[in-house]
Chain A
């Protein structure tokens, strides 16, 4: 620690602090334009100059100067004010003065400083720039005439996002910030540059002319998309979410967001939102009142109860409180057939982890990953499934020199990080590669085996996973496998990341076990600061697992329920917040299952293809319209807060479950989600002792930063071979979308508007396919047509199609296997 004096105040701060940070900690305000707490010090704007007694004779930039013992700093003086005023005058030489029409007015740092320092006239005169505005893309507008060259956008895109869209170009007076070849912005549109820009140079287009900043009321809540659980701040005006704003004071995301979080909120106020319950009459879904709808549901469920029974399939975007009510409702209805998202995927993963580690969640927290020495990312690119977690990994690699290994069937942004090693295997062979790494650890004596059960059995079973054999079967080199295993074993702190969700339904149990085996053998499991990270696809995937939205012993899971429905062995299905037809593997089977039911109830916010098949449709609320909690992929329980009202007669899932429970004779009278949370804490062991009021801005991580393991048991599992065929199709998430909900969000759609099939360049050349060509994809007796997109990341023989779009009907040919051999023709 270092002691210093700032403006006469005695301050003690850590050695690595700068003068600016020390002052900030002491509550002393120094103006800044180019500083941001998450970026490396830069010192470009010179507005933060201060006096330091030991460095007399010149002013010192406080944001880049580290504190030293005994330093005496003055942050205001006539000299400092004079210089800051001059700096502002310089900035305003070229800067256009168009505040009345600038959307940033009212929250522009330059404007505020100009006001504060009373810069009413400029002693300097210069030519104003007249650069064209970049309005090529629909989301981010760039007006470089307002730019002050602080470089924050350049830095955030490099340091945090890892995309590198921007650079300073030209030199001298001509210097400006531009993209490669000075074209329109064409990036992943996360909008991090928007949130960083201290002036009106980079603006969110969807928010343009919607409101003045001071008119908006701000509501901190949790993003409704993926399991990363980023805090978002809704900017609300007239009961409408007008923007998602930057907020680095709450949550784990440091104000970082991806395109979905920042621009994907449009679905909340979509015209297609369900406003009234619908009941099927004479084959048509017609609007009805709640009473009538609930009566219909009660009648249908009662009838089903007397016949072949009822099943409940839930999504993973409801709050914990809602899931808890659903679980209880299932009990009231007398059914143990309960599952969420994607058949065997979630269940398998949970079972796999229980078998090995005795827990069913990530064992560490996201911030810990930044200080890991070695990181292994399994399967798809985290930048696409959990983009903001991807940014943490980016910083681990770039700032702390972590070694990064990626086991995947395609390259992604992770692969481009400095010295990243991609173990590029044939699709579906990840388990083999993980097994092989475990084999290396055991055969080279690197494995941690103290107190581990099942080592000898595993050793024997891994005989067929020697690197040389696996290399031949998967296409990953022997050296790469060995290097990854050794690096992971040698790391003081390591992270193993595994993304899971609907597009990865196959072999999820085996994959969880193979990953857990590695976690145990490398010493990752149970070590402080290390962790195995299970990253669920949706905002409350972890909550759904914690609250056991899973089949009871002896009852049916998702896959079995659909099978039973198809065979006429299940009468009714209650689908809550999930679009089975679009997102579940094997559409034909799902269709047959829905046809086989005598009664189907769908509760959702849109009339999804599944809802269109329903007998009763109940209109629900989006995340922005309710209070409660989500548990993210690192077990962090965070507050979800209501920002706007639901459209029409739509009700929250909470209210709907209450209504239904009451009608089935179980009157629950929770006054608010807080009361339910207390009940959860009393019933779910992991949540014991947690009070909702104690869930502060950073949330509460149940089980603590390092989750205590119940056991360490390695289990042998076999990995499948890659299917045979000239082309293998893999499906998964596309960065711009999440589940099927984002396909109603204008922001996401403006970048990726329709389904596509992605080709690597070599394959595209070979098949003479160019961007936009319509390609016929045949497999498994099905056939679909998709538009082609050519990119650089796919290896030869692998094609990729995102699963989000209902119209694509990917699941006509994707039946749950990791990869599908397909025939392609133009």
Chain B
């Protein structure tokens, strides 16, 4: 309503998918979480126009949605890469050189924790423990797990995903 605050340029995106998700859960009590999850599924992240749309259609304050989005680590407000590389930083992996693995990733792709390559292909995430200490040091790329990582193996994994679409 007011003209007091700064104006924010909203990105232009197609809201059809978000509308479809909202339609699906519209009459459900406590629809916000599933709607946010499915919208993220559809867009890979939660674009700002979708937040406004959800707020309007579910009649929830935008600020509340933002509170939920920043509370849960599962939600992302920035576009993410097609391949999420999770580098385990747990005790076992740490002892066996997780730091070197993370450094290699940074050297090869130029991305550190929570960063995404410009071509939106890779996102790096350093995670606490992925529960595969026997395979330390370990990384995951989307659902695939790669254990006993070395610098050389790291290069192979990166090359494999680089070659994929």
Contacts and interface: CB of A to CB of B under 8 A. Distances in A.
A170 B66 CA distance: 9
Interface string A182-194: 1111111100000
A414 interface: no
Given A158-B61, A164-B61, A178-B66, A183 B6 contact: yes
Given A170-B71, A416-B59, A792-B56, A180 B3 contact: no
Give the most central of A138, A179, A791: most B CB within 10 Å.
A179
A136 B4 contact: yes
A170 B69 CA distance: 8
A753 B67 contact: no
Contacts of B3: 751-753, 789
A165 interface: yes
Nearest to B55: A180
Contact of B67 (A169, A185, A752): A169
Contacts of A752: 2-3
B82 to A, nearest CB: 25
B115 interface: no
A186 B70 contact: no
Contacts of A138: 4
A170 B70 contact: yes
A180 B65 CA distance: 8
Interface string B30-60: 0000000000000000001001000110010
Contacts of A328: none
B60 to A, nearest CB: 8
A129 interface: no
Interface string A162-203: 011111111100000011111111111100000000000000
A791 B1 CA distance: 7
A164 B5 contact: no
A164 B2 contact: no
Contacts, number: 78
A797 B95 CA distance: 68
A164 B4 contact: no
B56 A139 contact: no
A186 B6 CA distance: 8
Given A169-B70, A416-B59, A418-B59, A736 B2 contact: yes
Given A170-B70, A181-B48, A791-B1, A164 B64 contact: yes
Contacts of B65: 180
Interface in B53-89: 55-56, 59, 61-67, 70-71
A771 B4 CA distance: 13
A164 B64 CA distance: 8
Interface string B1-39: 111111110000000000000000000000000000000
B4 A168 contact: no
A386 B22 CA distance: 34
Contacts of B59: 416, 418
Nearest to B62: A180
A164 B58 CA distance: 14
Given A181-B48, A418-B59, A751 B67 contact: no
B6 A179 contact: no
Given A167-B67, A181-B48, A792-B56, A751 B2 contact: yes
A217 interface: no
A378 B59 CA distance: 22
Contacts of B2: 137, 186-189, 736, 751-752
A735 interface: yes
Given A158-B61, A170-B71, A792-B56, A751 B66 contact: no
A122 interface: no
B67 A183 contact: no
A750 interface: yes
A184 B48 CA distance: 16
Nearest to B64: A167
Interface string A228-245: 000000000000000000
Contacts of B5: 136-137, 183-186
Contacts of A136: 4-6
B36 to A, nearest CB: 14
A180 B6 contact: no
A137 B4 CA distance: 5
- In this complex, which of A137, A182, A186 has the most chain B Cβ atoms within 10 angstroms of its Cβ? A186
B120 to A, nearest CB: 21
Given A166-B63, A167-B61, A139 B48 contact: no
Contacts of A158: 61
Contacts of A750: 4
B84 to A, nearest CB: 21
B15 to A, nearest CB: 12
B66 A169 contact: yes
A179 B70 contact: no
A180 B1 CA distance: 15
A23 to B, nearest CB: 33
Interface in A758-814: 771, 789, 791-792
The 9 closest A-B pairs by CB, nearest first: A164-B61, A186-B5, A167-B67, A180-B62, A167-B63, A137-B4, A180-B66, A169-B70, A180-B63
15 contacts: A136-B6, A138-B4, A165-B61, A166-B63, A167-B64, A167-B67, A169-B71, A170-B70, A171-B71, A179-B63, A181-B51, A183-B6, A184-B5, A185-B5, A752-B3
Given A181-B48, A189-B4, 6 more contacts: A136-B6, A166-B63, A167-B63, A181-B51, A183-B5, A184-B6
Interface of A: 136-139, 158, 163-171, 178-189, 416, 418, 735-736, 750-753, 771, 789, 791-792
